[in-house]
Amino acid sequence: MGKLFLLILFPAFILIGRAQQPWQSSLVSISGTGKLVYAADNEGNTIPDFSLAGYGCGQIAIPDVSVQETLYPVSGDNLANIQNAINRVSLKPLDANGFRGTVFLTKGLYEVNGSIIIEKSGVVIRGEGTAVSGGTIVRETATTQLDLFLFKGAGSISRAESSKVAISESFVPTGRKLVNVSNASSFHVGDSILIFRPGTDNWIHDLKMDQIANTDGTTEQWIASSYNLYWERIVTAIDGNKVSFDNPVVMQIDNNYGGGYLMHYSFPGRIWNCGIENLRLESSFASATDEAHGWNAINISRVVNSWVRNVTSVYFGMGCVYIDNKSRNISVLNSQCLDAKSIITGSRRYSFNCEGQLNLFKNCYTTEGRHDYVTGSRTCGPNVFTQCKSRNTHADIGPHHRWASGTLFDVIDTDGEINVQDRGDYGSGHGWAGVTQVLWNCKSTATAVQSPWVSGKNYCIGLIGGKYPGRFNDRPDGVWEGLNVAGLVPESLYEAQLNDRLLTAVVSEKFTKQEIRFYPNPSEGHFNISYTGDQLKYIVLSLSGKKLMSGLTSENPVLLDITGFSNGIYLMECNDGEKRSTHKIVINKYTK
């Protein structure tokens, strides 16, 4: 029997981690066939799929948009030059891919006194990098609180109340991507819909948010009408009165608390396909506690399907990126928020702040922040913070106040705290910060994860660090698993979910099973390949489609020996001259 040796330098996205004793969660695990398996609790709740967050739902690479305007720094205020260039590009028609073009800021220092505003779809701002020497620096010189770059759509969401149809089930658990409704005749595949869950007085009461302690006389009890929640979804299938959609339910829908509804909506004023990249953004400041200077480096309002990447912000009073509650599917990648300048107190130093839906923050870094990776009031998910780090932090990471739903904090490394809890009368009545908040493989000095009295659970899986009771020690504990046990598999839940979804799409949509035999699969690294032709041509791919190696052999059957490689999933295309097939190779060298 011939031997076929492959050199694969990196496993494809789903990694085993660096620990010698890998383990899997009982809630989400990798099966023997390499698929993710979700375990439901006694109510049917599962950890949701977070993989559609970000630009293009994680399925489309961020493009390099062609340059239409090139600028060079001038002495003094550059605001008019930059704004005029943006305005000229904004007048161009959208191309076939939905872009107008890039405004390219060549290296050097651009001082500006005021806000730079982007109000049209398809406009990208690009620099030559974040380096102090040789990069592109845009420095805010204003002596008042304002945001440097403002991406700004218009208007508000328009809800088609007349299309509202009741969910006919008495209870819908988290994690589901379908509901049964009383009449689905008005919905069609591709429709933009809202899942609506009304706030009710009895829900507020059972959550005990009408009983928040009022220690200083400023606490506001929660009011039901302020907790009408709307999650944006797209219909993917209709089967009778069963409606399926792209993203999961991230909070229980319960007839005891008003049930739920589906309805159509539109938001024509949003802008899309915008980006900002490869820039160092600075604020001038008078002292370490100066409050009259640049506040957010980037403010994203009424924007969809856009991105921030490779941006460093320095010295701003609030943060690097703020995404408002009217924006969705924004990716913030490979960005830093450094050395904030302000008083260290409330409503300041929110380094990466998300109030919208389906947003992705990946590979970000902060110093001197307070709430570095944070969501706001009634933030409807899913949202994802993954592979991010914080140092010299002055407060905590997590949902901040008043009921965020469906957030993944994935591979977060902080020298401060991560908290999901009842915050009580902090901030005039923050109360329960959120539900379906998932901490996965994080590191912190101290962490509190509590579950609310009703409507769902919060999770902490694979935390390395300290557990403490939180502000109140009589609240229900969250779901904890593997505290201070290194080696959680998969290392990143977001990456595992993304690749699980993309692999399923690739295999099911593009390839047909053929007669070439590939066995056993999974294995610990030995695979046999038998075929009907005289020779076998093979190509090994990562899950992202990157070609790792290729070859040709006349041995039949062939022993593929990759026992030296890490656990993970790969694709192998085989062609024996008669049959062609693609196989998923699963290396599984651990026992659950």
Per-residue pLDDT of the chain (592 residues; tens, 9 = 90+): 343 333 333 333 333 344 458 999 999 999 888 899 999 999 999 999 999 999 999 988 999 999 999 999 999 999 999 999 999 999 999 999 999 999 999 999 999 999 999 999 999 999 999 999 999 999 999 999 999 999 999 999 999 999 999 999 999 999 999 999 999 999 999 999 999 999 999 999 999 999 999 888 899 999 999 999 999 999 999 999 999 999 999 999 999 999 999 999 999 999 999 999 999 999 999 999 999 999 999 999 999 999 999 999 999 999 999 999 999 999 999 999 999 999 999 999 999 999 999 999 999 999 999 999 999 999 999 999 999 999 999 999 999 999 999 999 999 999 999 999 999 999 999 999 999 999 999 999 999 999 999 999 999 999 999 999 999 999 999 999 999 999 999 999 999 999 888 876 555 444 334 467 777 777 777 888 887 778 888 777 765 556 677 778 888 888 888 777 766 667 777 776 666 677 777 766 543 3
- Contact between residue 22 and residue 38 where contact means Cβ atoms under 8 Å apart: no
Eight-class DSSP state of 339: -
- Contact between residue 495 and residue 386 where contact means Cβ atoms under 8 Å apart: yes
Residue 253: name the closest of 183, 169, 178, 182 by CA: 169
Side chain identity, residue 561? D
Q: Rounded CA gap, 50 and 58, in Å?
A: 10
Side chain identity, residue 324? D
- Contact between residue 422 and residue 401 where contact means Cβ atoms under 8 Å apart: no
Q: Rounded CA gap, 398 and 378, in Å?
A: 13
The values of phi and psi at residue 222, to 5°, are -70, 145
Q: Rounded CA gap, 338 and 443, in Å?
A: 20
Residue 370: name the closest of 410, 419, 327, 326 by CA: 419
Residues near 434 by beta carbon (within 8 Å), at least 6 away in sequence: 375, 379, 398, 399, 403, 404, 405, 407, 420, 458
Bridge partner list, 279: 311
Tokens, residue 328 = 């969705």
Q: Which residues of 550-567 are buried (b: 16+ CB within 10 A; e: fewer)?
A: eeebeebbbebebeebbb
Q: Rounded CA gap, 380 and 385, in Å?
A: 14
Strands (E), 302-424: 303-314, 319-323, 328-333, 336-338, 352-354, 360-362, 365-367, 373-375, 380-386, 389-391, 396-399, 404-410, 413-414, 417-420
pTM attached to this predicted model: 0.86
Q: Rounded CA gap, 34 and 496, in Å?
A: 10
Residues near 524 by beta carbon (within 8 Å), at least 6 away in sequence: 563, 587, 588, 589
What is the full DSSP assignment across 168-229?
A: --SEE-TT-SEEEBS--TT--TT-EEEEEE---HHHHHHTTTTS---SSS------GGGG-E
* pLDDT the model gives residue 264: 98
Q: Which helix (H) or strand (E) holds 297?
A: strand 296-301
Count Cβ atoms below 10 Å from residue 349 Cβ, excluding itself: 27
Q: Rounded CA gap, 349 and 366, in Å?
A: 10
